[in-house]
């Protein structure tokens, strides 16, 4: 009887402790607002959490970001109609953090990060029109490999409050990007006419910039929105004081 009672007490105690357990995932550690190397510390946490993040963090309601499912992309213009449907962008999980700037605890808080990755877009395509002078027509499976895509996202941070406490939120993010190279593999061009398809694809790949001028903006925009959404989901689940030691709440 006595021992059962102790056991119950002990269990309750453990559950209570369990509730108080830190919200920060185990692969991240707290940074200190007084740390002169605060940015370096934040960088370490981002690098440590990137692989987890892209797979999704169910306990923090952060969805997987690899692949990123894209809305349909429709390009009408310049004598070319191109549609991508059922599109998914693979590659965020292998991205590298190449630049990071953090302003925290200051009047205007902000951060800027640059991710570099190789992306593969897998989709169904439908193309009709001309690339420069060359006619192109077909539909089928598309594999678009982009190499050395650097995406820089800059955002202000504001404070919000929810049941878990005061937390950060990225607002009005702006972004820019750069792409080193793109290779298009459009299967079944010209209804499978191999010779015509090969010549045209070769030409398309030599003039990849022309196509990417139209294709990249909607794709990159959706990638940025997905990343920002995931980061904000993460922020909203972890009070700022659990991420940054010594941080003074504002709300
Ligand atoms: C992208 O691909 C290139 C060439 O295959 C490779 O050298 C580079 O390391 C890759 N970058 C990333 C971020 O995976
Ligand atoms: C592209 O689509 C528009 C409207 O959907 C159409 O008027 C035009 O003829 C098409 N152009 C080509 C080259 O198919």
Give how far Cα 89 sits from Cα of 73, 82, 229, Å. 12, 17, 16
169 Cα to the center of ligand 1, angstroms: 31
Distance 97 CA to ligand 1 centre (A): 13
Domain boundaries along the sequence of the chain: 8-245
Tokens 């570099």 -> residue: 116
Tokens encoding 202: 């070769």
Q: Write phi, then psi, for 164 (nearest 5 degrees).
A: -85, -15
The pLDDT value recorded for residue 239 is: 94
Separation of CA 64 and ligand 2 centre (Å):
36
The whole-number pLDDT of residue 12 equals 45
Predicted confidence at residue 23, as pLDDT, reads 84
Specify the residue with its C-alpha closest to ligand 1, atom 12.
117
| Cα torsion 125, 129, 133, 135: sign | positive
Structure tokens at 37: 């190397």
Closest ligand to C-alpha of residue 126 is: 2
Query: Token digits for 7?
Result: 């056991």
**pLDDT single digits (tens) 16-74:** 444 456 789 999 999 999 999 999 999 999 999 888 888 899 988 888 999 999 999 99
Residue 107 corresponds to which tokens in the numbers above?
């009047």
Give me ligand 2 centre to Cα 81, in Å. Answer: 6
> Which residues are near ligand 1 (CB < 6 Å)?
94, 96, 116-118, 147
**Full DSSP string of 83-106:** EEEEEEEE-GGG-EEEEEEEE-SS
pTM (2 d.p.): 0.86
In the prediction, which pLDDT does 15 show? 43
What pLDDT sits at residue 2?
A: 52
The bound ligand whose nearest atom lies closest to the alpha carbon of 151 is 1
Rounded distance, CA 71 to CA 87, Å? 7
Percent of the residues in the chain that have a pLDDT greater than 90, as a whole number: 78
Residues in the chain with pLDDT values less than 50:
1, 5, 7-19
Distance 128 CA to ligand 2 centre (A): 8
Q: How many CA atoms lie within 13 A of 237 on its CB side?
A: 16
Atom from ligand 1 closest to the CA of residue 95? 13
- In CATH terms, 8-245 corresponds, of 3.15.10.30, 3.40.640.10, 3.30.830.10, 1.10.357.10, to 3.15.10.30
Residue 64 per-residue DSSP state:
P
Is 33 strand, coil or helix? Answer: coil
Which of these, 33, 27, 19, 34, lies nearest to 240 by C-alpha position? 33
**Distant-in-sequence, close-in-space partners of 101: CB < 8 Å, separation ≥ 6:** 39, 110, 111, 112, 113
């Amino acid at each position: 009887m006595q021992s059962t009672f102790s056991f119950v007490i002990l269990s309750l105690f453990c559950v209570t402790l369990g509730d108080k357990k830190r919200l920060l995932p185990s692969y991240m550690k707290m940074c200190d607002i007084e740390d002169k190397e605060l940015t370096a510390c934040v960088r370490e946490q981002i690098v440590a959490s990137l692989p987890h993040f892209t797979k999704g963090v169910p306990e923090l309601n952060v969805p997987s970001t690899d692949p990123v499912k894209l809305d349909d992309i429709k390009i009408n213009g310049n004598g070319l109609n191109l549609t991508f449907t059922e599109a998914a962008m693979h590659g965020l999980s292998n991205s590298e953090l190449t630049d990071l700037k953090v302003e925290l605890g200051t009047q205007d808080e902000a951060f800027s990060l640059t991710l570099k990755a190789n992306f593969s877009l897998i989709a169904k395509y439908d193309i009709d029109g001309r690339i420069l002078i060359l006619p192109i027509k077909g539909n089928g499976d598309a594999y678009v490999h982009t190499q050395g895509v650097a995406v820089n996202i800059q955002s202000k941070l504001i404070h919000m409050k929810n049941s878990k406490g005061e937390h950060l939120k990225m607002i009005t993010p702006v972004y820019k990007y750069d792409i080193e190279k793109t290779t298009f593999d459009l299967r079944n061009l010209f209804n499978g006419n191999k010779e015509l398809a090969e010549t045209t694809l070769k030409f398309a790949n030599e003039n990849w910039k022309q196509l990417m001028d139209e294709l990249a903006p909607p794709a990159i925009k959706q990638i940025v929105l997905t990343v920002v959404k995931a980061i904000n989901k993460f922020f909203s689940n972890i009070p700022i004081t659990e991420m940054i030691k010594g941080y003074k709440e504002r709300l």
